[in-house]
Amino acid sequence: MIKIDKNSLNEISNLAASDKRRRKIKNFHQNANDTLQRMLNALQEDSYCRPHRHITPVKREVFIILKGRIAVVEFDDDGGIIDSIVLDSSNGNYAVEITPKSWHTIVCFEDNSVLYEIKDGPYDAKTDKEFASWSPPEENSEEGQTYLYKLKSYLKE
């Protein structure tokens, strides 16, 4: 039995806080070939996740908020926002399933936020994600932080 409790959320949040990417994944699936990938995804507020899509092969992806506030954003092919939701259990927005083949990202609004993520497998790092050419490539760059700030400003409106 895999249990997710307050201690496990605090533990992964602490790891994310000390990670250079400002986020951390804890896998529950046994290996990369598992056809159902399940994980905790902990983020800090300043973590920039580059927009991407899953098309080789096409994968479904689900995010369920366990702690904090995280927006999930879908984009058109030119980087325009076409849909978004702020996942926050206090406002009744608990989960979202990403439209297959869509450009998307997650944006953290509160330190120590944690998602339960479910995605079709298997996982192959070479083909799992196609990154959006219209988005900043460097996670820890000034350009990435500026882009993140613009997304947050838009989502708060």
Mean pLDDT for 62-73 is: 98
**Burial letters 93-104, b for 16+ CB under 10 A, else e:** beebebeeebbb
CA–CA separation, 157 vs 148, rounded Å? 15
Q: What's the confidence (pLDDT) of residue 94?
A: 98
**Burial letters 21-48, b for 16+ CB under 10 A, else e:** ebbbbbeebeeeeeeebbbbbbbbbebb
Mean pLDDT for 120-125 is: 92
Among residues of the chain, what percentage have pLDDT more than 90?
92
SS3 148: helix
Residue 152's CB is within 10 A of a number of other CB atoms, namely: 14
CATH superfamily of the domain spanning 6-156 = Jelly Rolls (2.60.120.10)
Angle, vertex CA 46, rays to CA 41 and CA 49, nearest 5: 55
Residue with tokens 């908020």: 65
Give per-residue pLDDT as tens, 79-88: 999 999 999 9
126 Cβ neighbours under 8 A, 6+ residues apart: none
Domain-wise residue ranges, the chain? 6-156
Window from 5-9, 70-74, 84-88, 122-126 with minimum mean pLDDT:
122-126
Mean pLDDT for 99-127 is: 95
Residue 157 has pLDDT above 60, yes or no: no
The CA radius of gyration of the chain, in Å to the nearest whole number, is 15
